[in-house]
Structures are given as structure tokens and as C-alpha cells.
Amino acid sequence: MSSSPPDRSDAGFTGDDARELSRLLAKYATHRLDQFDLWKLEFKWGSVYVDIARRPFQGASEVAYTRIWPLTPHHPTGAARARAKIGSAKTGSQNGRDPS
């Protein structure tokens, strides 16, 4: 019987976490993603829906996405920019993306 890793949902999200998430998403996109996947994460405060695809979300511009891969020395994760843009997206601004 295998045990699950501890739930670290209350531990915060660090720059190291963002880099690991970017690395794992790039690996997933390289080796497992066909056209798209739709994921749902359930939490006590509500659900989060994730659309990962080889095309922009319907109606979104390519420039609306924040590039998080490949990692660069000057922009290692894009996480801070993404958080800022996600907050402003609720007011009508957009993010940027490059899944390569």
C-alpha cells in the first residue's frame, strides 16, 4: 500500500514550487499531452478548473499568455507576473504564454 505525500496546501507557494511546476508541466506537455486535457481540483473552498492545450483558449490572443517555459535567468518562472496578471485579468487585463 502506497501512502500519499502530505497535503502542503497551507504551506504557501514558493519560487521553487513555481519552477518545479513549470518543469513538470513542460515535461507533461512534451511526453503526455495530445491535444488538450481538462483538469478539476477540488478544495474545501471550491473547485479550480485547468485547461491545458496546444492552442490558446477560445477567444484568447497568443499575447494573452505569460511564458513560463523555458526558464530563463531573468524571468525564472513568470510566477509573480502571472499572479499579478491573474489579479488584473479579473478586471479585464490579459496574460502571455509559450508552452515550448
The answer to whether the CB of 85 falls within 8 A of the CB of 95 is: yes
% of residues, the chain, pLDDT over 70: 62
Residue 1 within any structural domain of the chain:
no
pLDDT per residue as tens digits for the range 7-62: 555 678 888 999 999 999 999 999 999 999 999 999 999 999 999 999 998 999 99
Whether this prediction's pTM lies above 0.85 is answered by no
Residue 62 within any structural domain of the chain:
yes
Tally the domains of the chain.
1
Residue 55 within any structural domain of the chain:
yes
Residue 98 within any structural domain of the chain:
no
Burial 27-58 (b: 16+ CB within 10 A, else e): eebeeeeeeeeeeeeeeeeeeeeeeeeeeeee
Residue 48 within any structural domain of the chain:
yes
User: pLDDT band at residue 74, thresholds of 50, 70 and 90?
Assistant: low
Residue 2 within any structural domain of the chain:
no
Q: Which domain holds residue 78?
A: 15-89
Q: Which residue has the cell 479550480?
A: 48
